[in-house]
Structure 1
């Protein structure tokens, strides 16, 4: 754009950087010097020009920000976040969860349908969640609906109400109000949604007909037997959920996919590398299926997790270094089946993590947890005997501290995605390993996540007409995550103590700065949230 083409009506806000990731007309991404002109009145990008235009070229009332040499990136779209409100606000809530997102350059989150009470499995449940979100969101928030047995009649009304997609579990979810679906339920959901503008997603784990890890007597519909080995051993936990849990679930989904050939299917938080060839082959056959993986699968490996450190517990589990390397290879391939990277921010209270004393004071949970997929419930007589034994040893250690099977599964990390990916990508590049570039990271964490939830027309990119959502990322900032840096509700995360290269210094939402690192009010600009609940009906 030449100087005479600059819009004269204003006032405008101008952001420039010698390193900006722009979205081109063909949807490709380009790292380039750029000038981005924003209308604060509409919250939209007016122009995105692939050159630096000096301050002197603009009217005197223009607010001009030169962020060079920091990276000017589109705001991230985290398409997998558990905000847990209403119902379990002691775990997380809209206010704290979206503040954490904003502090890390995430300008849109999409809230999962479970862990709130009621879950988003009915139109009334969705209305309750929308009511709870009012006035609390620091970033824009979209919502998923849930697929559970018996709610097929709610799916299309939820589409009309504006949910961005649907999620179902093929294994116990850990909360009683969100039961797992059978193959019959999956087929009914696919048939119901086959012509709808939506995405049908799955937590793809299921007990195989015969699972080597738990014994030949286990059948599909039964819970696994009690694990063999120390319950505070990460190896015991890992062996209890082998890759076969994931591959079998994906094969089950693919066997039904023919009933809805135009429906976008999606595998959430893919962990096992053995799934990759299955998904690649399915895509080659024309099945519309994609997958996501998570920051923790790319940053942690089972080889380095200490026994008892239940902060790392999640489902599916974090696997070994060889597996992690294969995930990095897949996300580095534009033709790969893993199209998006998300946080799967799934917090709880520290007490539910049952951390050992050197990590956190151990307390018994106030509610029964069964998200391990393993029935830890004792028969009544055994329960009473156990209670008596507990009374007799009140002054002794709590035996379930560090128990991977009794602890709640989930990793807190919303807002940490850019530092995690940039740090580990830089380390891999230094070793000569295959690694994605910053443009690839933007593609998987902003552009593709926006596409996954039907928001690509307004989110996930820097070009004219898009929402003016930005993350200012200083890739030279080396810092260590401390508890005080965690802005989600419960400051418990396996990332604590990790040193990162790169940090978000500012976040902009629809033309307004909402976070500035080191600023007053803990960096949150304006003192009150301006995020919106996204309820526009998704279009094809």
Structure 2
């Protein structure tokens, strides 16, 4: 079957059939949608079949936290390279973050510019977050109507001047604009706190950087998020939570009916502070990678459902910004590139911890699709959904090598790491976009506009 061609049916001895069930099945595809999922191996219809053998077939991954950086900082990353990396990793939909591109996605005009830049460059489907910055509250509803998935804000300096962090006043104004829209606001949940002593440690030691971003910064920020979410009943989401300390606060808010969700990332689940070498600035991200004991608590929260999803937070930059020569953690850009390797990163650890395939689908596909308003279209292997599939070998191992990395700048803390889970093929809306190291000749993904959602008013 040619790369890029339309797939009529996919057959495997191992198809994800829902809950924790895996068995032989044939997936019939019509007009880019899943038409039927037929248990068993036999196929009576005269259609072209992609036979996956014993490889596992499950919904394509929806990675709802990706920094593409185009336009404006395309030397960091661009739609062409980011979405090829996604396809190679079994990711069939990404949602682009509003910052690190210039201009940022904080006005309707900027969103339209972003859409123009992305068109014709995406190998997988791509949706977009908008951003909240001081003074742009009247842009939010027009952006919702235009198709953004929701909005991200920072409670601390974002790292780039064109995306300033918001004040309490900005947040209340934002909540008033979003109330009743059904949209969601995403929080980079760190807040500056008074520290009793300034660290004067060696900037090449990871511990020096870690001490500068203590757990309490996340705790205080999440306290604010919980208060706003409870007061306004606007959907709120905590991005890339690294600290387990705020989990009881989040659980209590959810129990009380607050529409709150939370994600963590592959790096917080697979890397630990104790194992980061001196000067290895490719490990720097914000919030920081914390200790192994904290990581165990994150895994426990995933298992119990207190953390809702796992994403990459793919945040690349050029090599010079990582300060690899000096190894200075205090000066290096904070961000980790892992878009291509999310599935094997998750599965390598999760499979050893008793997680099942259904957990992977819930945490990497279904809940992420729900967050960004694509839950009726993406993330599930069922009739009527987009025929977005990943075909992979969960038991097979591979080593991450530079020549196999498809994102633009080949910097990653995972270089040389062996992982379990090899992606064989990726299908987007019934089109074969990746197979065994090769890509379709042209980008077959499309830009996704999320239909505006509404929540009923109390007096409706």
TM bucket normalised to smaller: over 0.9
Alpha-carbon distance change, 524 to 450 in structure 1, aligned in 2, over 3 angstroms: same
Instruction: Specify which of 528, 536, 539 is matched with residue 442 of structure 2.
Output: 528
Task: For 1:434-473, list aligned pairs within 5 A.
Answer: 435-473=354-392
Shift of 1:475: 1.4
3-state SS of 1:179 partner:
coil
| Bigger-Rg structure (1/2) | 1
Contact kept, 8 Å, 2:133 with 2:165, in 1: the verdict is yes
Look up the match of 1:94. 79
Structure 2 residue runs of 5 or longer lacking an equivalent are 1-5, 455-460
Look up the match of 1:229. 201
Is 1:52 aligned to residue 64 of structure 2? no
Alpha-carbon distance change, 149 to 12 in structure 1, aligned in 2, over 3 angstroms: closer
Instruction: Specify which of 433, 445, 452 is matched with residue 514 of structure 1.
Output: 433
* Counterpart-to-counterpart distance in 2, 1:536 and 1:318: 32
Instruction: Specify which of 86, 102, 106 is matched with residue 117 of structure 1.
Output: 102
Contact kept, 8 Å, 1:31 with 1:439, in 2: the verdict is no
4+ long deviations beyond 4 Å: none
TM-score (norm 1): 0.81
1:477-501 Cα offsets, whole Å, 9 max, x none, are: 2110001111000000001100011
Look up the match of 1:73. 58
3-state SS of 1:331 partner:
helix
Task: For 1:17-416, list aligned pairs within 5 A.
Answer: 17-23=12-18, 28=19, 30-39=21-30, 42-49=31-38, 51-55=39-43, 57-59=44-46, 62-208=47-193, 210-212=194-196, 215=197, 227-261=199-233, 263-334=234-305, 336=306, 338-355=307-324, 362=325, 401-416=326-341
Look up the match of 1:392. none
Contact kept, 8 Å, 1:331 with 1:436, in 2: the verdict is no
RMSD between aligned alpha carbons? 1.4
* Counterpart-to-counterpart distance in 1, 2:453 and 2:169: 27
* Counterpart-to-counterpart distance in 2, 1:494 and 1:342: 16
Shift of 1:438: 1.6
TM-score (norm 2): 0.95
* Counterpart-to-counterpart distance in 2, 1:58 and 1:12: 14
User: What is the number of residues matched between the two proteins?
Assistant: 449
* Counterpart-to-counterpart distance in 1, 2:10 and 2:342: 23
* Counterpart-to-counterpart distance in 2, 1:29 and 1:182: 44
3-state SS of 1:415 partner:
helix
3-state SS of 1:416 partner:
helix
Structure 1 residue runs of 5 or longer lacking an equivalent are 1-10, 216-224, 356-361, 363-400, 430-434
Shift of 1:259: 3.7
